[in-house]
Amino acid sequence: MNRAFASRWARNVFATVCALAALMYIGSRFFTHLDLALYGYMVGTVVFIGGFFYRFMAWAERPPTRILLRKGVRLIFRRSTPAVAADHLVVHRFIWNRGWYRWLQHILLGWGCILSAFVTFPLVFGWMYFTMADNGYYTVVGFGLDLMRVPADGWIAFLFYNALNITAFMVIGGVCMALYRRIRNKQALAEQSFAYDFLPLYLLLFISVTGLLLTFSNIFLHGFGHPVMSLIHQWSVILTLLYLPFGKLAHIPMRPLSVLARNYRDHYGEAEPKACRVCGTEFVSAEQSRDVVDVLKQNNLEFKTEDGDHLAELCLPCRRKYRMSRFTGIPTHQFRVKEANQDAKG
């Protein structure tokens, strides 16, 4: 069977798309509840999922990633995993340490995109739809099962109607904050590029604005211009979905893997910390240091000092001092003097 595909990645992507098609077949009650108006979104989403898994598997094949995934999955049932997941995936406390402005920006952008996906994907694939009885109640149906009944004029139904409008305002707020920071922050100005940093923000902004214009057209203009705006919005979404797996926004669906990285760092750091071979400062876990040495060997890379120590066994300040010694001929890495910003945070 493996000979039928160009590579293992291609085989896995094919299996993923087939599994998605099977879920669509089952969830939409044998394709009887697919909305043809959402057909373009469905095709774009399938291509996005295939592209995302292709990139993920290409990334997972790298030696450092294989080690992280293998050891991180073993530690998934650590007692601290729920707290770590909430910190990294829900409240983003690690960004709060950089300032409230960046934290709010990421909360609006991240949760705006995630909630939009939670609403859009089930509707596009026919996994969720609504029926309305004569008594004025909406029935929410998921995978062919009646999940809940709500009054058509109630506040829950209002949230259902306007879920994408709410997330659009969240994304617009986060994009505006990000653009303002990138225009005013000198460090961001020096490091950013249009294609990698600005283009994803403009795409999200365009999707959100055109989506709100659809609602504006229906409510205030009685549907005037709706067909044209619907096509513009649909093509902007499809284009973004095709670009998303290969651009900066790919870190949003890959963010859960940070929980594995944190578990790896905490578990092995508690078990056996690694002391720097020069200054004696504990800077990583002994397991991580050994893993770095092993990965470099797999790539035929050896970074050893004249004393026979591997650079992975030196803390960052001592590594910098060692590089200075290679240029100056003075053993600066052996001077037990701390750098001015050695304990800086942030």
Residue 252 has pLDDT above 90, yes or no: no
CA atoms of 153 and 13, how far apart (whole Å): 43
Reported for 175-178, long-range contacts at CB under 8 A and 24+ positions apart, including other chains, are 175/109, 175/201, 175/204, 175/205, 175/208, 176/205, 177/101, 177/104, 177/105, 177/108, 178/105, 178/109
**Residue 339 pLDDT > 60, yes or no?**
no
More confident residue, 297 or 122: 122
**Residue 135: helix, strand or coil by DSSP?**
coil
- Name the residue among 173, 170, 179 with its Cα closest to residue 197: 179
**Cα–Cα distance, 124 to 28 (Å, whole number):** 10
Percent of the chain whose predicted confidence (pLDDT) is above 70? 95
Which residue blocks in the chain are alpha helix, DSSP H? 8-27, 39-60, 63-74, 81-85, 93-96, 100-124, 155-161, 163-184, 186-191, 199-220, 226-243, 251-254, 257-271, 286-298, 316-328
Tokens (6 digits) for 260: 């594995």
Structure tokens at 192: 């950013």
Which pLDDT band, with edges at 50, 70 and 90, does 332 fall under?
Answer: low
**pLDDT score recorded for residue 108:** 95
In this prediction, residue 176 carries a pLDDT of 95
Per the model's pLDDT, the better-predicted residue between 7 and 204 turns out to be 204
pLDDT confidence bin for 49, thresholds 50/70/90: confident
Q: Look at residue 163 in the predicted model and tell me its pLDDT.
A: 92
Question: pLDDT higher for 316 or 305?
Answer: 316
Domains and CATH numbers, the chain: 2-252 (1.20.950), 272-334 (no CATH)
d(CA 173, CA 101): 12
What confidence score (pLDDT) does residue 206 get? 96
CA distances, 274 to each of 268, 283, 315 (Å): 10, 6, 9
pLDDT digits (tens, 9 = 90+) for 277-289: 888 888 888 888 8
pLDDT digits (tens, 9 = 90+) for 185-220: 777 777 788 888 889 999 999 999 999 999 999 988
| Parallel/antiparallel/unpaired status of strands 145-151 and 137-142 | antiparallel
Alpha carbon distance 310, 227 (integer Å): 64
Q: Which residues make beta-bridge pairs with 138? A: 132, 150
pLDDT above 90 coverage of the chain, percent: 20
| Res 345: pLDDT | 46
Specify the pTM: 0.81
The pLDDT score that the predictor gives to residue 182 is 86
CA distances from 92 to 54, 102, 256, 257, 286 (A): 27, 10, 12, 14, 28
pLDDT value at residue 228: 92
pLDDT at 340: 53
Q: Is 111 left (phi over 0), alpha (psi -120 to 50) or beta?
A: alpha
Is residue 144 within 8 Å of 126, Cβ to Cβ?
Answer: no
Distance CA(116)–CA(111), nearest Å, equals: 8
pLDDT tens-digit series, residues 28-42: 888 888 887 888 888
Cβ-based burial of 300 (10 A; exposed 0-12, middle 13-18, buried ≥19)? exposed
Q: Measured on CA atoms in the order 216, 217, 220, 222, is the torsion positive or negative?
A: negative
**Cα separation, 200 vs 242, whole angstroms:** 12
The confidence band for 336, taking pLDDT boundaries of 50, 70 and 90, is low
Residue 3 identity (one-letter amino acid): R
Long-range contacts of 3-9 (CB under 8 A, 24+ apart): 8/57, 9/54, 9/57, 9/58, 9/61
More confident residue, 252 or 207: 207
Least confident of 105-119, 227-241, 250-264: 250-264
Of 95-104, 129-138, 198-207, 300-309, the least confident: 300-309
Q: Does residue 338 have a pLDDT over 80?
A: no
Give pLDDT, residue 179.
Answer: 92
Separation between Cα atoms, residue 283 and residue 287, nearest integer Å: 12
How confident is the prediction for the chain on average, in pLDDT? 85
Residue 240 confidence (pLDDT) = 92
The answer on pLDDT for 66 being more than 60 is yes
113, 145, 117, 111: which is closest to 129 by C-alpha? Answer: 145
